[in-house]
Structure 1
Amino acid sequence: MIKSLLFFGLLGVFSIPAKSDLISVCIEDDRDLRVDCMVEPKPSRINSYEFSWSSGSKEAVINTNVSGAASESQFRDKSYVEELEPQGYRLTMTGYTDTLPHNTTYMCKISGNSATITIEKDLLLPCSAVIWKTSCIWAMGLLIFLQHIYY
């Protein structure tokens, strides 16, 4: 009985969607800033994306493919976007890591669905640490699950 309660409690914790899982921001080894947006696009629509950030009251569009919208000129040659499989987009920015505002809100919109995350400059992690942190959480969950099945 207790094993079942622990199992379903653990399953419930892992099934709660966290908004920060839809967008992540990290620093790559070459000091580029990376923003991954894993928002699921709406079906039967042409995929569009828009990445932006805000610090204080000013919001700036970094990169977009939305018709009629344009990115700020300071970002045009220093950012690019690539599509991720099975869904999502990745923005990479060069030359901004050292001049980032202290407290920044990063936003992404994919086909009308959006996600945001606010991060302090000093708390940005290397991208390898973000992957490790995510993998570690799932590995721990799997170990706990397997322990309850076999004991």
Structure 2
Amino acid sequence: KSDFISVCIEDDRDLRVDCLVEPKLSRINSYEFSWSSGSKEAVINTNVSGAASEPQFRDKSYVEELEPHGYRMTLTGYTETLPHNTTYMCKISGNSATITIERDLLLPCSAVILKTSCIWVMGLLILFQQMHH
């Protein structure tokens, strides 16, 4: 597991890859999202000049910037046909992160978010409970 890249499946079955790599300062942020299965690497989305994404992904993915840093890439229409074992890669301004996930172990994005917010909710519930006693 990597803290810098996470992969999950949205409620509408889109694949979401969050890349939280901090860019190097004073550089225009470039990003590249790719995956590989076996020895074949395919670029899904990039804004690196001179690089291009694979034709089958061109109208299927989009990237948005995350706060305070990082990018989120959403890919539609591929979750049913993902290879069994896929390595997801992202690069932001030359810094890269990689994660390998088996298709059957991909979690819904809501569960990924719930895991972290659950701790907050539990903390708040305990706080409220103590305040009302």
Same fold (TM over 0.5): yes
> Is 1:63 aligned to residue 45 of structure 2?
yes
For 1:77 and 1:86, how far apart are their aligned partners in 2? 27
Query: Whose Rg is larger?
Result: 1
The answer for the alignment partner of 2:19 in structure 1 is 37
Aligned-residue identity in percent? 90
Match of 2:110 in 1: 128
Distance (Å, rounded) in 2 between the aligned partners of 1:89 and 1:81:
7
Q: TM-score, normalising length from structure 1?
A: 0.78
User: How far apart in 2 are the matches of 1:88 and 1:127?
Assistant: 17
Show the counterpart of 1:52.
Answer: 34
Equivalences for 1:67-106 in 2 at 5 Å? Answer: 67-106=49-88
> Which has a greater percent of helix?
1
Structure 1 segment 108-127 matched on structure 2, within 5 A: 108-127=90-109
TM-score by length of 2: 0.88
Deviation of 1:134 (Å): 2.6
Q: What is the distance in 1 between the residues matched to 2:119 and 2:22?
A: 22
Output the aligned Cα RMSD: 1.7
Stretches of structure 1 that go unaligned for 5 or more consecutive residues are 1-18, 144-151
**Residues 129 and 61 of structure 1, relative CA distance in 2, 3 Å threshold:** same
Unaligned runs of 5+ in 2: 125-133
Aligned positions, number: 125
